[in-house]
Structure 1
Amino acid sequence: MYEPYENPIPNEWLTIDAPATVDANSTATVNVTVDVPTDVKGEYGGCIKLNIDDSATERWGMDYEVDIRLEVWKQPKTAYQQNFTVKQGQNFSVVISASQWGYDKYATGAEETEEPSFKVSLALADLEGEDMTPELSKTVKTVGVSLGSDYLPLEDVTSEETYHVSHIEYSETYKVTNATGGVWTLKILPKNTQSFEYTIEIGG
């Protein structure tokens, strides 16, 4: 592994299965396996030099290499929390959304990606007992469709398909009517997404 990345991929994570030499005008398969420890997270990167004997590499200052970038993250076990204040008798709603992008499928190699979901609860400081689970009043799925070839691998770019899904946004809306006044705590535990947005609308 070569490349002065801020967080380089350690050599001990990699197993490379490749022939010692490859003749000119021939092909070969190189298998690279990355074994990531369970106690790490963050972004890692590096390059694998192919060691191709080509005079152009010296003449033009270029080299043949394969770039590898990893983003390691874990499903959270504790919920995100946010406090907000509601007056007695007011209605309020919470809208939570997350997006998936077409290039994620090609980056992970997965044919299908599980849809994002959220475990949502609300708590009022002056009320005793467990958190309440608000009623899910609406779900929305918004799909972006492209006629271009952005972020598509070669086999899809050259296919006869006209339309490609570029991104999908999922949203869930929760409503509480005639709420008890006070400071409420919103708790969101996301699943199958690395980011999300939410909106708290009070009144109306």
Structure 2
Amino acid sequence: MSKSTALKVASQFLSLLLCLILLPAAFAQPEDLNGTVTYENGTYESDIVPGLEEIYGNYTVHDIKPTYYSVYLMPGENKTFNVSFRNEGNETLDIAPKVIATPDYYYEVNESWVTIFPENVTVSPGVKQNFAIDVNIPEDTEIGEYEAQIAFTNDTYPEEYDDPIYIQEYTEEYSDSLYVNAMYLWVSVPVRPKLELQTSYISDTVEPGKEYVYSIQIKNVAGKDVTIDPKIMNYEIYDYSFEEPAFSNDIIEISAPSIIKADEIANMTVRVPVPENASGSYGAFIEMNADGNENDGSVPQIGLSFTVDKQPTVPYVKIFNTTTDDPITIEVSAETYDQNALVRISPQKEETYFEMNLICNSNPVNLTLVKATESGTIYSQGYALPIWAIKEDSNYQSDSSKYIERYRVPGTVGTWELTILPKNTNSFDYSITVGEFE
């Protein structure tokens, strides 16, 4: 636990403690009161709870906004933000804000990174003073999460607390001072990206015995040449299903250049020849192994997810009965959206259709197609792709699409058998309406 966290825990505990102290007093009769609690400018004086003054100490708590500030900055970047300080005391103060290391925090904000203006100012009682704080991260800064205090006065919390024990438990381990009138600064220095990918995953339904080929664009954004050596890696998770993957990693072939020059866009080809006896699912990811180093977050991975599903050869059968001679409308539909259309080279997705047959009282019935509808939702490619990966010949991509066929036959009383064999789809919807169709 960081010291700032301990302070928050202690403050919450003390707030609750004071509530418990003041609640009985609020409902007590005057003759029942046996002590007083006063709070003025952050100083507690009490003869009800001995030791409370030792916990808080004798100091003034001033108004500082914000009390914490967090920022993401790359090496070489800077950010300026404002902090206000209001003098809540009765005396004029000379304020010279300073950067203080946060106790027991692994990464500390270097004092040289922070410039505060004004450096020194006189603040009268009740007056609010604004400060501009500039955070500048050097080019050679190590990746990490950095923290510091920016103290406006020299008041500090006591190093040890005798009462209550709860607070002592969480604070006695710290040796450095925690400042009363301070704000907390968190600076996250993330890794600078080396590569950008056209897509971060390939998720597809594949058929046994077919070969699937995908092409993914990779852009070098590191500002210098980057070497890559893409490899298939398995997720390091515990799997208690004992289900074998649909196929092994070694059947997947990856072709990519070994060096991608600065600002160059290269193509990586992923070839998946699905075995004839494959079944089930497969999941893994492609690690790029940029510059031969362990991935520090600067290079995205490509997730692979495949479901092996053979197209059905036996139709779905639906039996239904009618008690009138009202006309019958049959509608079948399927989602036809192909989420891999931008990266799958082959095979191309074939059009969806249905083989339909209808029998009534053991006699074949001719189905009359009265309507075929194809619909979809279209958006700009920029919605899903990085700007550099958008194809010049097409600025649009389908988000979803649906194919619908509607049939109508004269009705009669009897038992009907409808068979539906879907083609080039793994699921479909159907409806049977007896009577007028809206």
TM-score bracket for the superposition, by shorter chain length: 0.7 to 0.9
Distance 2:255 2:309 in 1: 26
- 1:49 CA displacement: 2.8
Alpha carbons 2:246, 2:280 under 8 Å: kept: no
Structure 1 position 69 matched with structure 2 position 305: yes
2:375 alignment counterpart? 142
Deviates more, 1:165-174 or 1:28-37: 28-37
Confirm whether residue 127 of structure 1 aligns to residue 362 of structure 2. Answer: yes
Tell me the amino acid that sits aligned with residue 72 of structure 1.
V
Unaligned runs of 5+ in 1: none
Bigger RCO of structures 1 and 2 (CA < 8 A, at least 6 apart): 1
Unpaired runs of at least 5, structure 2? 1-231, 240-244
Q: Deviations over 1:75-117 (max 9, x none)?
A: 2101111222212412111011122225341253369643210
Matched, 1:203 2:435: yes
Question: How far does residue 123 in structure 1 lie from its aligned partner after superposition?
Answer: 1.9
The one of 379, 402, 412 aligned to 1:169 = 402
Q: Is the deviation greater in 45-54 or in 4-13?
A: 4-13
Are residue 183 (structure 1) and residue 421 (structure 2) matched?
no
Listed one character per residue, the Cα deviations across residues 105-152 of structure 1 (whole Å, up to 9, x for unaligned) are 12533696432100011123x325xx4441112112223232574444
Check whether the contact 1:9–1:45 (CA below 8 A) recurs between aligned residues: no
- The structure whose Rg is larger is 2
Match of 2:344 in 1: 108
Deviates more, 1:81-90 or 1:102-111: 102-111
**Paired residues of 1:92 and 1:203 also in contact (CA < 8 A):** yes
Residue in structure 1 matched with residue 233 of structure 2 by the alignment: 2
- TM-score normalised per structure 1: 0.74
**Cα distance per residue 1:144-182 (max 9 Å; x no partner):** 2325744446556475966544333221111111x2322
Q: Whole-Å Cα distance in 1 between the matches of residues 267 and 371 of structure 2?
A: 49
* 1:22-41 pair list within 5 angstroms: 22=259, 31-41=269-279
Provide closer, same or farther for how the CA distance between residues 12 and 45 of structure 1 changes in structure 2, counting only shifts above 3 A: same
Query: What is the aligned-residue identity percentage?
Result: 26
SS in 2 for 1:122: strand
Cα–Cα, structure 1 residues 187 and 155, in superposed 2: closer, same or farther, change >3 Å?
A: farther
Q: TM-score, normalised by structure 2?
A: 0.38
| Structure-2 separation of matches of 1:163 and 1:50 | 29
Preserved contact between residue 378 and residue 397 of structure 2 (Cα < 8 Å): yes
For 2:307, give the aligned amino acid: E
Which AA in structure 1 matches 2:412? Answer: T
Question: Once the two structures are superposed, what CA deviation does each residue of 1:26-62 show, in whole Å capped at 9, x if it has no partner?
Answer: 97765442221122234311123333334762xx7x8
Q: Secondary structure at the match of 2:250?
A: helix
- Structure 2 CA distance for aligned equivalents of residues 110 and 14 of structure 1: 15
Distance of 1:65 and 1:163 partners within structure 2: 26
Q: CA RMSD in A?
A: 3.5
CA distance in 1, matches of 2:371, 2:419: 18
> What is the CA-CA distance between 1:25 and the residue it aligns to?
5.6
Residue of 71, 87, 94 corresponding to 2:330:
94
Does the aligned pair in 2 maintain the 1:8–1:46 contact within 8 Å? no
